[in-house]
Structure 1
Amino acid sequence: MRQVQYLTQLLQEIIFKKSKNKKQEAIQEINNALERLTKEHPKQFHELELEETANLFIQNDAYQAELALAVADLLVEEAEMLKDQQFSKSKKAYQQAYMLYKKAQLDKNAAVPLDIHQKTTQIKQELSHKNALAEIEKLLN
């Protein structure tokens, strides 16, 4: 729960920094937060395959949907800031976010945001390449 609160506060800071055109600082803060999530994992967050990304949020055989949703929100912000500079990193962040959102939607006990359909639709438009979404759909089935 503390992680979710921390990430929610961080998201507010990221949005503020983005609005003040401090994108590099915002991206660095996102990377620091993601690094904390994978400190026990041999790979950095952005190096994780999609299945590894999903598995990162499974604890005691339960999917930690609220934590995954908070991370997905950060990934979307990062993807938007990187979209014009580093397309491949932006695409990977969008893919990870989309997968986390969709997996949370499948969790009957998760409190998903009311605008999750809007968020996933936006990401689908960014990931218009069919292969980018096909791998996620395959993992979710």
Structure 2
Amino acid sequence: MTNHTAQVDGFPKIGAPALRALNSAGYHSLEELVKVREADLAKLHGMGPKALGILRDALAAKGLAFAGEQVSNQGAYAEVNGIRLYYAYYGKPASQEVPLVILHGGLSRIEMMHELIEALESERTIIGVDLQAHGRTADIDRPIRYPSCADDIGGLIQ
């Protein structure tokens, strides 16, 4: 198992290409990343999804997040259809109304939907989900297909 807690130049262990990308862009500590959007970091040459995930988790461990994103302290995992599915509640506390489930697009995670969540969370309860092999939900030995994802969400909200 890789140790992601070892610090290198003020960052967790993220690999040389990602570290060079951050340093070239003028970022030299984890705390500086609260001023930049994750989508902007993703555009840096050498910055891949694995490094972004490590940085996101390191920020969250300190109660921080990339610019424009929120850290949900309501997140949890559910065992559904053989997968450990990450989900988080946003907005109004659970009420009698049916919650709105928000899904991210491909190669993304639920935090990337923060603008939509922020626009709706004052009016209703929202459940955000990281689908198979995205965000905090690990991959399992099955193809990623829409029917499987739909079954996972159905199992989650039952």
| Shared fold (TM-score, shorter chain, > 0.5) | no
- Into which bin does the TM-score normalised by the smaller protein fall? 0.3 to 0.5
Larger radius of gyration: 2
Give 1 or 2: higher strand fraction.
Answer: 2
Instruction: Specify which structure has the bigger relative contact order, considering alpha-carbon pairs within 8 angstroms and separated by 6 or more residues.
Output: 1
Give 1 or 2: higher helix fraction.
Answer: 1
